[in-house]
Structure 1
């Protein structure tokens, strides 16, 4: 028998329609790099997005074509997200922190015809234009460049337009991976996948977003679908606050002035925030929830946030999973747990949301599933309706016949489904035939009160194949010695995990998304020798 419910295609333009209709006056705030603050609301974002639809049609940018943005976090960029996708085009967010040759390859591979960019990135755009023959237009978001800017470009439109309609399985967004091995790979999200991901994210057990929420995404808009927050905040009617600077003092001021309740950022954000508060004697603003991901969050960071009354939601995912697949929601017996047990829950990578499934398989056999016993580690695989099936323009699927996608992570899964990442497969340190988790070693080191950040890599060893080297950034003004840190670690990790060398450095290399750049660190210590 046929179903009798209305048949609506799930498209992201429906999210902004809902936000403007039901929460039109809810603010969208941008703090620019010069300290100026501008304000609009969801109704204004929808109006500008519809003007952008008209402007794209005026220059013959058609549905299905890719439109790139090279920009940081602000309201105009948000309007572009909805205008580009609402026109039926594919929003292509480009990471400005990549090398020129990677940027040119990405723009050419995507065949972008139009690029929106921030004035700060004009030097990059000037270098890109001669290398990208199909890139016909470049329009600046925040100043007049080459005769036009974003506001002026859409100002001649009246906004009396309609969204492009079509199948919910049509593409709406394109994100490229960081390309740690080979060229970056493009991940194409569909309207359907993004709406389903959004509905899972806003639930109380996940991000708990509502109209009274005030969300500050510190994660940049070019990274991993900006963790889905531009879509989720529209669906829930939340106020959004954007900042073009990640300076801890400016962020703390912005949080207090705008009443921020939810903050999203990688762990390095919290390292910097805590260092700033310790140095200035300040207190954490009265935020209610922290969403952190991109790298494992040390238990010491989780504990500090929880003691301040903050709900910590650690999420795991990747560009290929839209990006969130698991979150640390509170289990049924949460209220009966000790504080230490609660910290342990929040220091994991959580459990799958509805719409994501995970499993671990043998490192040498991706078809041999391992038990969910919390001890047996293996290669992590994931599948679900917002997980990639095939990379953009690839000839073959990226999944096996049962739709399992290999993530490149190593993990254990507990009997209750809790995921605990132990490393990336390429970052594991193999010593004497046994594996050492660089992530767990780093997290243990960051627990020392004088350590700001730490990174562990394997160094070739004449007897043990590899041994750990630990690179450490000390907090300002401390004189932590290697022997003292070794003694501290001796009580935290297995004896044979202890690093053979500790190097104190001024800073550690990071990727464009704020993760530790182990590839760069290995290059830095390529000639390092350990004693036999």
Structure 2
């Protein structure tokens, strides 16, 4: 027996039209060099229609790809809406990759038109000679005529093009399984791999993140979107905000801790997001300048790397709740959220908040033995690789690359950890980063989380280095707070009683900054390579550790 329900297709068109009609007066606010500019959702939707008509005049009349090379701003949001709703496919190119990597992704996506922010034009010029499919560049903002003078390609001005186009548009509603946008992974091995999100997967992710048990985004919110819009549809926040009626605040090229605080205070931001690095920098300013008022800010969702106890505690002190989420490019991206359960004691609540979170309804998750692939129990103790499947989980990559990332219909995340009987996930490491010393596993993530709580340490990471006796031992790479420099022996002693004794590193490196990937994660591959090449001065101590108190 079949149901009597309608079979309407899920589509970005629904997001656009609902936001235009029912959230017309909500605002998109973008930072500029000398202030802020504001546009209503109705005006953004009208510009999206104009952009779609302009793109059609440039030959985009099917599922061709349109790329962006842009910051978080109003025009990028217009492309987010226009391109998928017209039946084309949006590719958000990552400006933080090398020119060769950017060109690889544009060519692999087969982009025909690129929309480029003026402030990024000189950077994009380095990519141009490597492109094989792009025939037109649309520049958002003013650039010197000389910038593209040597480019054998059509260059148009965004606002001139959009303003001249008709605001009338009959939007496309196609098969919900069709691609809506493309994002490439930012892994540290090989070329980036393309993930094509469907209309269905994006809409379901928006619904999933709007529930009270996840992020509870709704029309009472003013959201500050710090996650780059080139990365995993900015965790779907632009779409969720436009659909639900949450005002959207964007910082364009002016992302800084001071700008974040200014936006929160000026616009009464209720919801924000980003990687831990950004919010650690914000916390430092708040401690140095305690007069700032963040009372409107109800929740900050942290992702991209594990948040530390120190970050949670620091924001608790100023009345802001940190919520940890976990996901990846291949998962649209959110699959778990760290909200504590009803009726648990304070210790359990703190543990649940510090976990990667509880699995979202709609996602299937399991932990498997990394050698045999056999499922392990959800007991909070059995450690293995996490695997996922569901309606917003990738089942493959563009060009059928990376087949080893998929196992028996499941996505292999490469993350190692546990799942408890309530669905809370706790990561212990990336599969490629876990350290095996003398046959025993050492979690670099757990060791990092303990070390970063030391008052003199600003940033830290741990990598495995070869050891003649134990095969591999941990090496801590530390960035100290300004004006502080702690002896290695003191740090080793400080770790006693906080971690297992065999976890305490003998090997230490101090540096002024840690290298990061394009999405803010510490680049351990780079650190391992530099260590192997002898670029670091390593301090080694094998002195006897004191007994625990």
Q: Into which bin does the TM-score normalised by the smaller protein fall? A: over 0.9
- The runs of at least 4 aligned residues of structure 1 exceeding 6 Å deviation read none
- Are 2:26 and 1:26 equivalent residues in the alignment? yes
Report the counterpart of residue 276 of structure 2 in structure 1.
267
Report the counterpart of residue 397 of structure 2 in structure 1.
391
Q: Say which of 436, 446, 462 aligns to 1:456.
A: 462
- 1:55-110 deviations in whole A, cap 9, x for unaligned? 11101112211111111111110011101111111110111111111111111111
Partners of 2:13 and 2:498 in 1: CA distance: 50
Q: What are the residue-to-residue correspondences of 1:421-436 with 2, within 5 Å?
A: 421-436=427-442
Report the counterpart of residue 162 of structure 1 in structure 2.
170
Shift of 1:401: 6.8
Cα distance, 1:132–1:300 mapped onto 2, change above 3 Å: same
Report the counterpart of residue 83 of structure 2 in structure 1.
84
- Are 2:11 and 1:11 equivalent residues in the alignment? yes
Partners of 1:72 and 1:481 in 2: CA distance: 42
Report the counterpart of residue 288 of structure 1 in structure 2.
298
Q: Say which of 428, 438, 449 aligns to 1:443.
A: 449
Report the counterpart of residue 64 of structure 1 in structure 2.
63
Report the counterpart of residue 347 of structure 1 in structure 2.
354
- Are 2:331 and 1:324 equivalent residues in the alignment? no
Cα distance, 1:395–1:221 mapped onto 2, change above 3 Å: closer
Partners of 2:404 and 2:268 in 1: CA distance: 43
Q: Say which of 456, 461, 480 aligns to 1:474.
A: 480
Report the counterpart of residue 308 of structure 1 in structure 2.
318
Shift of 1:180: 1.7
Q: Say which of 188, 197, 201 aligns to 1:180.
A: 188
Report the counterpart of residue 207 of structure 1 in structure 2.
215
Shift of 1:400: 5.3
Report the counterpart of residue 72 of structure 2 in structure 1.
73
Shift of 1:483: 2.5
Partners of 2:186 and 2:401 in 1: CA distance: 20
8 Å contact kept, 1:16–1:42? no
Normalized against structure 1, the TM-score is what? Answer: 0.95
- 1:420-455 deviations in whole A, cap 9, x for unaligned? 001001111111111111111111111112221111
8 Å contact kept, 1:302–1:343? no
- Are 2:372 and 1:362 equivalent residues in the alignment? no
* Alignment size in residue pairs: 527
Q: Secondary structure at the match of 1:148?
A: strand
The gaps in structure 2 that reach 5 residues or longer are 149-154, 543-549
Cα distance, 1:232–1:444 mapped onto 2, change above 3 Å: same
Report the counterpart of residue 128 of structure 2 in structure 1.
129
Report the counterpart of residue 423 of structure 2 in structure 1.
417
Q: What are the residue-to-residue correspondences of 1:113-262 with 2, within 5 Å?
A: 113-144=112-143, 148-244=156-252, 245-262=254-271
Shift of 1:242: 0.5
Cα distance, 1:344–1:306 mapped onto 2, change above 3 Å: farther
**Aligned-residue RMSD, C-alpha:** 1.8
Cα distance, 1:29–1:360 mapped onto 2, change above 3 Å: same
Partners of 1:131 and 1:389 in 2: CA distance: 30
Partners of 2:454 and 2:359 in 1: CA distance: 31
Shift of 1:397: 5.6
8 Å contact kept, 1:271–1:453? no
Shift of 1:363: 1.6
- 1:314-369 deviations in whole A, cap 9, x for unaligned? 111100000001111231224xx22x432221110111111111111112122x11
The gaps in structure 1 that reach 5 residues or longer are none
Partners of 2:358 and 2:464 in 1: CA distance: 30
Normalized against structure 2, the TM-score is what? Answer: 0.92
8 Å contact kept, 1:388–1:398? no
